[in-house]
């Protein structure tokens, strides 16, 4: 049995902010009401890095819409030895978990 997907309204609030990762400026747009959808991109459209971060955001969004908790996603993502995220989507997930309440964009 599968968990039903959370169907998002066509129009909803969004929060957009920039951050730096891998020496590149990235832009993230997140649904601030529960982190069910994330858009992530670099400033260099058409690059491999841009494609990878966009795809990671799509997979994150689908996992959340099918009920995967933020904490589970955070534990599954690659981490550096010091516990910091190894990837941009990991940094986004950490920001969402650090928000008060968790899952609401900072």
3-state secondary structure at position 59: helix
pLDDT of 40 above 70: yes
pLDDT of 105 above 60: no
Residues of the chain with pLDDT > 90, as a percent, come to 73
Question: How do residues 60-83 score in pLDDT, each as one tens digit?
Answer: 999 999 999 999 999 999 999 999
Q: Is 88 exposed, middle or buried (0-12, 13-18, 19+ CB in 10 A)?
A: buried
The domain segmentation of the chain, as residue ranges, is 15-98
pTM for this entry: 0.88
Average confidence (pLDDT) over 16-39 = 91
- pLDDT at residue 6 in the model: 87
How far is 87 from 32, CA to CA, in rounded Å? 21
């Amino acid at each position: 049995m599968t968990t039903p997907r959370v169907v998002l309204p066509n129009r909803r609030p969004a929060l957009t902010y920039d951050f730096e990762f891998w020496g590149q400026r990235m832009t993230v747009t997140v649904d601030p009401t529960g982190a069910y959808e994330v858009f992530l991109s670099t400033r260099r459209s058409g690059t491999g890095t841009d494609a990878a971060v966009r795809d990671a955001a799509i997979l994150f969004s689908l996992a959340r819409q099918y009920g995967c908790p933020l904490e589970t996603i955070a534990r599954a993502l690659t981490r550096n030895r010091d516990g910091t995220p190894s990837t941009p989507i990991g940094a986004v997930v950490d920001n969402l978990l650090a928000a008060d309440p968790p899952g609401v964009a900072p």
